[in-house]
Structure 1
Amino acid sequence: MPGKHQHFQEPEIGCCGKYFLFGFNIVFWGALFLAIGLWAWGEKVKVVGVFSSNISALTDLGGLDPVWLFVVVGGIMSVNTFLLKFFSVFLGLIFFLELATGILAFVFKDWIRDQLNLFINNNVKAYRDDIDLQNLIDFAQEYWSCCGARGPNDWNLNIYFNCTDLNPSRERCGVPFSCCVRDPAEDVLNTQCGYDVRLKLELEQQGSIHTKGCVGQFEKWLQDNLIVVAGVFVGIALLQIFGICLAQNLVSDIKAVKANW
């Protein structure tokens, strides 16, 4: 109404955004510091005579020139908005890569299965070469109650476990202990439980070792836990989308605030 003061709400940055990236306003101060630093450096070059000597006496602090401090600090702070945009784009790129990977894994699931078989068998060959790899394979075989990629005979690929007559290893025609069916009443782990087990018939093996391959058991585990796995991926995707939206919102708020300066 006429005669009354009208109040306009100026744009401001959201509270969540301010707490999430509380230093966004450093962009302004960064630009100011950078401008002051560059101006001072340019003026310092021009100054001669007594003024030059006085400035040198004031700014030459142990080899550190405060002018360069202004320039460096200002330059670093001025890139905040760019880094925020980069974060948003990079997060979006990761999201779409994950989405594309999920679609390709569903479409080319047979190829993925073959690659998983190849990956496990390559690791079976190198089982005794790396203790970390050995622990990883043992964990997988124990967790999924499996042995080898497709079955226990995959351990023929390993020089210590193959059944050739030239193999002098005591583990010949055996499998690692992680393939064994654990006895709940057994307190001490029997690391020799897989010795000579593949010399037996397959039906006889079933009582002492897991005879199913890890690829099949992993697929079964995915099917049994599909809701949990899908929930985890959806949760991660939502967090990424939230991060993208928040970053874009902060960029917009920064631009709106800077427009009023």
Structure 2
Amino acid sequence: MKLMKSAVSKPTKIRSHSVRSAPFIPRSVLIGASVYQSNITGQTARGDAVQSSSVGDEKQEVHRSGSNMSNDVRYCERFSYVFLKFTVIVYATIFWLIGGFILAIGIYAEVERQRYKTLEGVFLAPAIILIVLGVVMFIVSFIGVLASLRDNLMLLKVFLYTLTVCLILELLGGILALAFRHQTVDLLNKNIRKGVVNYYDDLDFKNIMDFVQRKFKCCGGQEYKDWEVNMYHNCTAPGPLACGVPYTCCLENKPNEVTNTLCGYKVLDKERLALQNVIYIRGCTDAVFIWFMDNYKIMAGLLLGILFPQASSAAHSQRAVRSTFPDYPRPCCHRTHQHISRPHASCMPCPSVDP
């Protein structure tokens, strides 16, 4: 029994001794652990400092890049503004001078024409056409010059809308003239006959008619018999011009040959076939239209030269309005200004597009 008690009591003492007494740790081990912990803490602090420094550098780089981009945007906008303004000024100034020159010629021609004026209508008066064209070009171009120099929104809009209206009217006039070609030809022949009646009294029409008959090798408006309406060329009239046509209707003379001004004597009472070797029997209206069809490339280039400057100036004026005045409404502004973080307050929002 004593042995059993002693055996049981020994482990109890060992357990109580192991629980109450702490293990012995050398001092060198504790110092090493503290040094290691301090090294770990220092490395973590240095890592945090490096990371915060890199983040700050990235922010500064983004700020610098944003500033450079903003400067580039402002430079591009300034260059675009100067270019558009210079283009509109040059265009308007050139056409302003041309309009003034045409107006001066028209006024001078009209003053000279008043001495011999006998026509009641103004359709056949080239001076009136030049005056109207010169006035329109002079006023519209002057508005464009003044609007560009002063950066005036109202004048720029007037210049833009006037050019647009003129361009639309020219296109509509050409389309209507082609669509109603027969009516246009009849109207032209009717007015040519009115001019033939006063051929010797209106110097402007006489010069134009003589030039057309020589250039296009034709006679009269619709045909050579249109000259019967003139009181000097009518077959019932007295004098050497009766029943004849002007000498510009005659076939071309040989080089260095004296022009016979009475070559068209007594031709209106003869058959057409008998006159083929004497005068031009084709009317000038058909001759001019045939020339236009044969030289369609030249006419297309001329038409493009007339319409393209107007369309280009209208487009430049529209861009100048929006460049000069940022408050002018612009649709879908945030799409055209993707480099700007926030679009202008005047920009109109784009409609949402469903994917």
Same fold (TM over 0.5): yes
Picking from 31, 56, 59, the partner of 1:2 is: 59
Question: Which structure would you say has the larger RCO, counting Cα contacts within 8 Å and 6 or more residues apart?
Answer: 1
- 8 Å contact 1:12–1:256 — kept in the other structure? no
Residue 173 (str. 1) matches residue 243 (str. 2): yes
Tell me the TM-score normalized by structure 1: 0.71
- 8 Å contact 1:13–1:250 — kept in the other structure? no
1:231 maps to 301
Residue 89 (str. 1) matches residue 161 (str. 2): yes
Counterpart code for 1:144: F
In the TM superposition, residue 20 of structure 1 has moved relative to its aligned partner by 2.7
1:131 maps to 203
Distance 2:232 2:309 in 1: 47
Counterpart code for 2:215: Y
In the TM superposition, residue 149 of structure 1 has moved relative to its aligned partner by 1.5
Picking from 218, 222, 229, the partner of 1:157 is: 229
Tell me the TM-score normalized by structure 2: 0.53
Counterpart code for 1:158: N
Distance 1:170 1:244 in 2: 57
Number of residue pairs the alignment of both structures matches: 205
Residue 213 (str. 1) matches residue 283 (str. 2): yes
Judged with a 3 Å threshold, the aligned counterparts in structure 2 of structure 1 residues 217 and 21 are, in CA distance, closer, same or farther, namely closer
1:140 maps to 212
In the TM superposition, residue 172 of structure 1 has moved relative to its aligned partner by 0.4
- 8 Å contact 1:84–1:247 — kept in the other structure? yes
Judged with a 3 Å threshold, the aligned counterparts in structure 2 of structure 1 residues 99 and 250 are, in CA distance, closer, same or farther, namely same
2:84 maps to 17
Calculate percent identity across the aligned residue pairs.
Answer: 33
Task: Structure 1 unaligned segments of length 5 or more: list them.
Answer: 24-76
Distance 1:218 1:109 in 2: 13
Counterpart code for 2:78: E
Counterpart code for 1:249: R
- 8 Å contact 2:87–2:316 — kept in the other structure? no
1:195-210 aligned within 5 A: 195-210=265-280
Judged with a 3 Å threshold, the aligned counterparts in structure 2 of structure 1 residues 190 and 16 are, in CA distance, closer, same or farther, namely farther
CA RMSD across the alignment: 2.5
Distance 1:22 1:101 in 2: 28
Counterpart code for 2:238: P
Q: Deviations over 1:123-182 (max 9, x none)?
A: 111101111111111111111111111222111100000001xx1232101101110101
In the TM superposition, residue 106 of structure 1 has moved relative to its aligned partner by 1.5
In the TM superposition, residue 214 of structure 1 has moved relative to its aligned partner by 1.1
In the TM superposition, residue 21 of structure 1 has moved relative to its aligned partner by 4.9
In the TM superposition, residue 97 of structure 1 has moved relative to its aligned partner by 0.6
Distance 1:117 1:128 in 2: 18
1:222 maps to 292
In the TM superposition, residue 254 of structure 1 has moved relative to its aligned partner by 0.6
Counterpart code for 1:20: T
In the TM superposition, residue 240 of structure 1 has moved relative to its aligned partner by 1.5
- 8 Å contact 1:92–1:244 — kept in the other structure? yes
Instruction: Look up the SS of the partner of 2:285 in the other structure.
Output: helix
Residue 240 (str. 1) matches residue 310 (str. 2): yes
2:185 maps to 113
Q: Deviations over 1:164-219 (max 9, x none)?
A: 1xx12321011011101011324433322222233444323211110011121122
- 8 Å contact 2:247–2:262 — kept in the other structure? yes
Task: Structure 2 unaligned segments of length 5 or more: list them.
Answer: 1-57, 91-148, 329-343, 345-355
Larger radius of gyration: 2
Distance 1:227 1:21 in 2: 29
Distance 1:78 1:206 in 2: 64
